[in-house]
Amino acid sequence: MLLGLTIREIVLIDRLDLALRPGLCVLTGETGAGKSILLDALGLALGRRAEAGLVRHGAAEAAVTAEFAVGRNHSAHAILHEAGFAGDSDTIVLRRLVRSDGRSRAFVNDEPASIGTLRRLGDSLVEIQGQFEQRGLLDPANHRMVLDAFAELAGNSAPLAAAWRNWRAARDREQQAARLAAANREEEDLLRHHLAELDALTPEPGEEDRLSARRSLLQNAERLGETLNEAVGELAGAAGAQAALARAARRLERARERGYGLLDAAAAATERAANETAEALDVLEAAIRNLELDPRELEAVEERLFALRAVARKHQVAVADLPALRDAIAARLASIEASSESAAVLVNATAMARAEYIAVADWISRVRQAAALRLDAAVATELSPLRLDKARFRTVVTPLDEPDWGEHGCERVHFEIATIPEAPFGPLARIASGGELSRFMLALKLVLADTSSVPTLIFDEVDSGIGGAVAAAVGERLQRLGTGLQVLVVTHSPQVAARGAYHWRVAKRLNDRKTVTQVEELDADERQEEIARMLSGRTITPEARAAAASLISAGRA
């Protein structure tokens, strides 16, 4: 709640320190005394727009400070932490300095702050109901949250938000897989062509080296054949090495007995040479037979070698890497096929997540629809005593198209009103009369009192154009609202003023030849006198004092 308001150099207020209380607090005073200046000054501390015209004439700077008491679980603490302010104090101090040129500075707990932070904190701490206020209940952006609070859905919003996030994440994965599948489809045809080409070619490890050696052999076969034949000629025939070794062996054998062992080693070596020569001839003859090749083989080898090298150049790899390339392409195709299967799984997962979200959202929608009917009926019961019996209020829950669904559900919520039977429904802010608007907001606030997180309500012009029983009904409802909240009301109605738990009078005074606005808290006698003045005007009669006493007594009953 608002504990205190300190004002310096604002229009007609040179210096004002106002300590406020819980419950219904009323501010009264003659027209032009400066009651609206108090609200303008408070608005500065709450982050409203600063204007140079608010700075008192001749002053260089105006200052407004508002101190609030807040509970530990109040949303203002989250705003403070989000803005980088430390501490969990039970009080929050908002301060605004405005220079005569219109520039301003903001402070929160004596630390510099942005105007946006000041405004967010102000909106969480005070709600001003008046003709020119377009915040709080008058802002359609808040209507869904208001209805959810009335429906006690605050604790059930987490599953809906979680279902929405799960669905969105599943949808993102599916869309990413679909984009990948589209790219894979273009790649798949090319990969299949490459795989078919490599499978037809069937490259083998080390094949290039084998083919190169074979081609070299085939290219030199004729010359090699000549060399082999010449070698055979040197070893075979009557004049060859084989015949010479045979003759030498026979001679050594005949002389061996006469050498008494001297020729044994020579004979054995000659025999081995003869055997080796025979073996060499066999190898040479086999080599000659192997060189009797198909003359078309060289062409086939060269075609195969050229084909392998052409495919290797195409893929910018070595011929030796073609088998590995083939396996890599086959693995990539298998991966693409697997991704196609996983894409189908993701489609099913998205459908399941969507169904889960819709199930939770449908339940939320049904709760909202039922709460909307209860809210409309509750507001309707409060309108007639406030002389708004012709007015009609309704909560409109509009289904949204699927692209507009979100973490808060599948519908838009807004409040509408028609002030006369033949008029169409329209936004709350279209109510022309400030008094009508304030009374209507009073009715709505009464219904929503148990759900409000804003601890301080301010009503301006709530008694405009009414009197008698209607004013008494307004006062009674403000008093009832003040049992759970701090309610500040600026009023000209004695019936409303009599209901206040505390009473302040706003008046103009001449101070050092300057006209200033002063605010003083009234005791019981002063309060009775002020209400009597409100009843009878400048001349206060005994009858007015008696009527004031009666109103105050009725307000305490």
pLDDT (0 to 100) of residue 292: 65
What SS3 string covers 200-256?
HHCCCCCHHHHHHHHHHHHHCHHHHHHHHHHHHHHHCCCCCHHHHHHHHHHHHHHHC
Q: Which residues of the chain have pLDDT under 50?
A: 131-132, 134
Domain boundaries, the chain: 177-338
pLDDT at 227: 79
> Residue 498: which of 478, 513, 483 has the closest Cα?
478
- What is the rounded distance in angstroms from the CA atom of residue 179 to the CA atom of residue 467? 70
Helix (H) or strand (E) holding 459: strand 456-460
Total residues found in the chain within this entry: 557
Model pLDDT, residue 294: 67
Torsions phi, psi of 91, nearest 5?
-125, 150
**Contact status, residue 4 vs residue 17, Cβ threshold 8 Å:** yes
Q: What span, in angstroms and rounded, lies between the C-alpha atoms of 112 and 120?
A: 15
pLDDT at residue 153 in the model: 86
The tokens for 500 are 């206040």
Burial degree of 197 (CB within 10 A; 0-12, 13-18, 19+): middle
d(CA 121, CA 74): 11
pLDDT at position 557 is 66
Facing residues of 112 across strands? 107
CA pair distance 89, 77, nearest whole angstrom: 9
Structure tokens at 334: 């298998």
**What's the pLDDT tens digit per position in 454-467?**
889 998 877 777 77
Contact status, residue 89 vs residue 111, Cβ threshold 8 Å: no
For residue 64, which of 89, 42, 31 has the smallest C-alpha distance? 42
What confidence score (pLDDT) does residue 220 get? 72
